[in-house]
Copies of this chain bind each other. A is one copy, B any other.
Amino acid sequence: MITLQNPLDMHIHLREGEILKSVLNFSAKYFSGVLAMPNLKIPLDDTNSILKYKKEIENTAKELNCGNFMPIMSIYLSESLNKNELIKAKKEGIKILKLYPKGATTGSENGISEILNQKICDIFEIAQDLGFILSIHGESNGFSLEREFEFGEIFREIAINFPRLKIIMEHLSDRRSIDLLKYDNIFATITLHHITMSLDDVLGSGLNPHYFCKPILKTKKDRDALLNLALSGDEKISFGSDSAPHLESNKLKQNGAAGIFSAPILLPKLCEIFEKHKKLENLQKFISDNARKIYDLQNIPNKTITLIKESFKVQDFIVIGDDRIIPLLAGKSLSWRIKDL
């Protein structure tokens, strides 16, 4: 048995409308707070839209009887974002600025093409002064397996030029990125899938579209290095699932969508992994304590989650109209389950 205090998922895609209603319980019931990504169909680059979305999440959580739960909001760094909007957002308690390189992943069409140009550096300057945390999907537009590594130069530049700006490297996938944590103001999130799978799971035998995500899963060496980093409880690392629900029809097609829907298995699977590696004592840091410090999270609602070592069968799918969403490890059995609240 293990008891986790106030689990936090610092990177998740909750979507809107019907999908939000179908996936939110997995997060809102078992996590105190989750950082909701702003790359909706219309990207959330203004405060009013963000507050409206926050309300939608809160209302949905209430309808689903999820108990104490706090959505943590972020603002999308589009080309049209300006100082006034950042000031307004900050006043409303939004302090995470999310940067997508244009075209890097799902919902990044309104992202940034030239990250180090003057206009964007001005935004970084303002963000630093206002105390924003800069969360970055760090990938170049180069060869798929080199994108995160190539982006390292940009992380370095921002870290050096804006030393008071906290920077989060989202969803680490390449072991060569770990070196960047030597900069005082660089932190990172790590997903479940990048510490449990490699490119072989996507295409090593048959092709598995449900394991296709950005950044793409890399080698087993990358997987293992990131796993060890997560297991260590390193205080610069928060858990961020990057759970991303996509309709099956959008996954199993030509030009299929990138994203892995891991929300239904996060805490049980993490227990399984941390126990296997005899590091259960570090799970509390990875799943909550580190994030509370890094993001300076005050007032997150209290939630105590107990997991027990009993078999848990992952559901095969979630029905959405006449379509479905397939969770990671659908139909598989895990060795831990969440004790009924």
Contact = CB atoms under 8 A, between A and B. Distances in A.
Interface of A: 103, 143-145, 198-200, 202-210, 212, 216, 219-220, 251-258, 326
Given A252-B252, A252-B254, A253-B252, A144 B199 contact: yes
A204 B199 CA distance: 13
Task: Please indicate which of the listed interface residues A144, A210, A219 has the most CB atoms of chain B within 10 Å of its own CB.
Answer: A144
A205 B109 CA distance: 12
Give how many copies assemble into the complex. Answer: 2
A220 B258 CA distance: 22
Contact of A143 (B198, B206, B208, B257): B198
B203 A202 contact: yes
A198 to B, nearest CB: 7
B212 A207 contact: yes
Contact of A200 (B144, B202, B255, B258): B144
A200 B256 contact: no
Q: Which interface residue of A145, A198, A209, A258 has the most chain B CB atoms within 10 A? A: A209
A252 B256 CA distance: 9
Given A252-B252, A253-B252, A254-B252, A143 B209 contact: no
Contacts of A252: 252-254
Contacts of A220: 143
Contacts of A326: 254
13 contacts: A144-B204, A145-B145, A145-B219, A202-B203, A206-B254, A206-B256, A206-B257, A206-B258, A207-B257, A207-B258, A208-B254, A208-B255, A209-B256
A216 B204 CA distance: 9
B254 A200 contact: no
A210 to B, nearest CB: 6
Contacts of A207: 207, 209, 212, 251, 255-258
A140 to B, nearest CB: 12
A254 B209 contact: yes
A219 B146 CA distance: 10
A214 to B, nearest CB: 9
Contacts of A255: 205-208
* Interface pairs A-B: 10 shortest CB-CB: A206-B255, A207-B256, A207-B212, A144-B204, A252-B252, A144-B200, A207-B209, A206-B256, A252-B253, A203-B216
Contacts of A206: 254-258
Nearest to A199: B144
Contact of A203 (B103, B205, B212, B219): B212
A258 to B, nearest CB: 7
Given A143-B200, A206-B255, A207-B251, 20 more contacts: A103-B205, A143-B199, A143-B204, A143-B219, A144-B199, A144-B200, A144-B204, A145-B145, A145-B199, A203-B203, A203-B212, A205-B255, A206-B254, A206-B256, A206-B257, A207-B212, A208-B256, A209-B209, A209-B254, A254-B326
A254 B251 CA distance: 9
